[in-house]
Amino acid sequence: MTQSSLTDVDWSKIPAPVDDGEAAHLKGMKLPPLSLRATNDTTVTLSALDGRTVVFAYPRTGEPGKIGLVDDWDMIPGARGCTPQACSFRDLFAELKAAGAAQVFGLSTQSNAYQTEMASRLHLPFPVLSDEALELTRALKLPTLSVAGLTLIKRLVLVIDDGRITHVFYPVFPPDRSAGDVLDWLRENPVE
């Protein structure tokens, strides 16, 4: 199936993910000292960052006009919506920073080259991190799904304070409201 629009989605026709408990262990975890490649030609070690960091993880962004990963992608609960989610963080980036997010990152298991194209096309003001080797995914035991032989991260958002996960949004639905939900939480839970 060709993906015509990656942002115009009728969420009432997309199955919502359910809380399967696969992220319940994350709150309170200290991040491991792993470095990930970023779309701004740097490497980022989340565990070493000071202050509050927001990381939104997603399965896989698509490319307009390209063939989807699998024909029934939209029917996999939580799969559809990576581009709308990234755009929501782009659109609320300044407000997220004003509400205490020292850093904002996207995260997926896609290659850095794939993510760099997407970040440029969507004009993202923040880097996207590649966990193509699944190092962070495995170390944190992030919830995953397997599609077409690929291991993908299920959509979630981590709020990290000085290298420790202090809040987890999971499951995330609809994805285009993800940044707004995070912004509300940041405003209600300021950095001390």
* Catalytic machinery residues: 82
Q: Within 10 A of 66 (CB to CB), how many other CB atoms are there?
A: 10
Token pair of 46 as six digits: 């989340």
DSSP string spanning 121-190? HTT-SS-EEE-TT-HHHHHHT--EEEETTEEEEPSEEEEEETTEEEEEE-S--SGGGHHHHHHHHHHHS-
Q: Are 11 and 78 in contact (CB under 8 A)?
A: no
